[in-house]
Each structure stands twice: as structure tokens, then as C-alpha cells.
Structure 1
Amino acid sequence: MSRAFVKEDGPDNEPLPDLPVSTHPNYVTPRGLKALRDRLATLQAELARLKARAERLDKLPEKAAERDIRYVEARLRSAIPVDPADQPSGEVAFGARVTVADEDGAEAVYEITGEDEADASLGRIAPQSPLARALLSARVGDVVEWKRPAGRAELEILAIAYA
């Protein structure tokens, strides 16, 4: 294709809008901080690979990588590292791994982590989630009320551990 038919400027060459950054304090565990740094390195390598392509008419993948890099850099700049080993051992705080039992006696384990590290499938919850808010400051033996969309639930704190 002739270069005469390729737009050099215009909306196709503008950066993608930034991803929204949470307004909550960005507490991170050491594992979460490492994951953010690893993600940034991966994104930077991907951007370098994209820019080295012989055929670069489609700039969207590069723009997406640049946008993602801006997001991760912002998350790293705002990171507030918290070492779970420094938390009070007798109560639930950021970084805690909490074992609870519901009204039926079913046990579950939740870990309060940073937003970027939260993953419900792994039992990792962000500190501003309704469940984490219910658990924070509780002690072993306490019963907390979890206000959830399906209705309220009571959870008994069975154990608190920190990495």
C-alpha cells in the first residue's frame, strides 16, 4: 500500500484513555509489590516486541501496552507496602489470613490483600470489600456480620495467621 493512503495523524495515533485508578489507599503485600513489578517488566518487554514488528500499521496493541504500563506505573507510585509480619498477631489486619466458619459450620479461608492482588478464586480479598471490612479488627472467637448482596451472614473467626 502506498504511504499516501496511510494517516499519519488523527484519532488513530492518539493514546488510549487511561485505565481508572482506585481512590482507595494502595496497600500492597510484599508479594503484591513483586507482582506489580513483574507485570511492569512483562508489559515493557511486550511493548518493545510490538515496536520491533516489521508490520506496524495496527498501532492499537502498542497503545494498549502503553496504557497498561501507565496504569501499573501509577499503581507502583501509589503503593503503600505493608509487611504482614509486622501486623498485630491477635487481630485481623491487612495481610491477615483468616479462617472463618459460617452459621452452618462451613469453613473458609480469606486473605486480605491489596486491590491488584485480590482474587476471589484464591480467597484473596481487597481491604475495602464488604467482607474484609467485616473482618478487620476482629479477634479469634468473635462473630462478625457480613453484609452481602445475598443477605447478611454471620462468620465466626476461627484463626488468624500472617505470612
Structure 2
Amino acid sequence: MSVAFTKEDSAETASETLLPDRPISPHPNLVTEAGLKALQLQLQQAQDAYEAAQAIEDVNERRRQGALPLRDVRYFASRVRTAQVVPAPASAETVAFGSTVTFRRDDGRVQTYRIVGEDEADPKADMISFVSPIARLLMGKAVGDVVGTAGQEIEIVAIA
């Protein structure tokens, strides 16, 4: 084996095992109780995956297989450590973190979303981040309030 091939292989291995950290939001890490539990579960899964990778005999393969879980361990450990659990809203009078809000758009579409933390957000599951533009418009508003966004108006029809 030539020295050049060895160096190339080492450079490839290094680039595969030194993954950049996942970006951390500059916003406060607000979470619901369920969101904190989900972060803790994801942290445990990442730790388990990293430990499984450490059992691989081949050092290069062990590094490759451990790179992603190790990056996730760093991310989720940070998110769990900085999580600020926000209790469920005491009232459904106004939209708040943790509220489920239903609104009607100008075109007649009715949408319902729960306002949650950034790591919990999943629009396909009807959960949006509290820092999303629509959530920021809705926070503090009450049923019947109308807010404008992107050239259209939306009316809040229910808060739970």
C-alpha cells in the first residue's frame, strides 16, 4: 500500500468523523413537558447508538459509525440542559405557548396548530414553533381577533 493512499484514507476518515455541531437556536429553549421528555428520549437514543458504535472492532468503522450519534449526543445534551419547561396555559382566553389555536384564513381555510418549542415543531403534526412568524402573530391574541400576514388576514376562531 502506498503512503499516498494511506494519507488519503486518513483524510477521508477524519472528514467523516469530525462532523460539525448541529446549529443551536439563539432563542430561549422553551419546551412543553412532552417536549422535554422527547428531548430526553432522543438523547438516550443517541447515547445508545454511540455506545453500539464503540463496540465495532475496526477503528475506522467505529469512528464512522460513531460520528453522527456523537454529534447528536452533544446537541441533545445541550438542549436538555438548557430546556425551560413552560407549563400548559392556565387559560384559553389568549393564545400562549402550549395553546392549540384554530384560525380561519381569507380563502376560507381553517387551520389548527399547537404552539410548541423549536425542537417539538412539526407542521405535519399540527405543531408550530413559538418563534415561527404565524405563532408570533397569534401570541397574546383572543378569539375573534384578526391579524394580518403575507397580504391576508386570519381570524382566531378557537383557543384550547
TM-score bracket, shorter-length normalisation: 0.7 to 0.9
Equivalent residue of 2:48, what SS? Answer: helix
Equivalent position to 1:35, from 35, 38, 45? 38
Unaligned runs of 5+ in 1: none
1:70 equivalent in alignment to 2:74: yes
1:18 is aligned to 21
Contact 1:97–1:112, Cα closer than 8 Å, also in 2: yes
For residues 43-98 of structure 1, what are the alpha-carbon distances to aligned partners after superposition, in whole Å with 9 as ceiling and x for unaligned?
111111111123342212212211110000111111110111x4432000000100
Equivalent residue of 1:158, what SS? Answer: strand
Name the Cα RMSD after superposition.
2.2
Q: Which amino acid aligns with 1:71?
A: Y
Equivalent position to 1:46, from 46, 49, 55? 49
- Measure, in 2, the Cα distance between the counterparts of 1:88 and 1:80: 20
- Measure, in 2, the Cα distance between the counterparts of 1:45 and 1:143: 48
For residues 120-157 of structure 1, what are the alpha-carbon distances to aligned partners after superposition, in whole Å with 9 as ceiling and x for unaligned?
111211111110011100100111112xxxx3221111
Equivalent residue of 2:60, what SS? Answer: coil
What is the aligned length? 152
Deviation at 1:12, TM superposition (A): 1.8
Contact 1:17–1:67, Cα closer than 8 Å, also in 2: yes
1:139 is aligned to 142
Deviation at 1:16, TM superposition (A): 2.6
- Measure, in 2, the Cα distance between the counterparts of 1:123 and 1:153: 21
- Give the structure-1-normalised TM-score: 0.84
Q: Which amino acid aligns with 1:157?
A: I
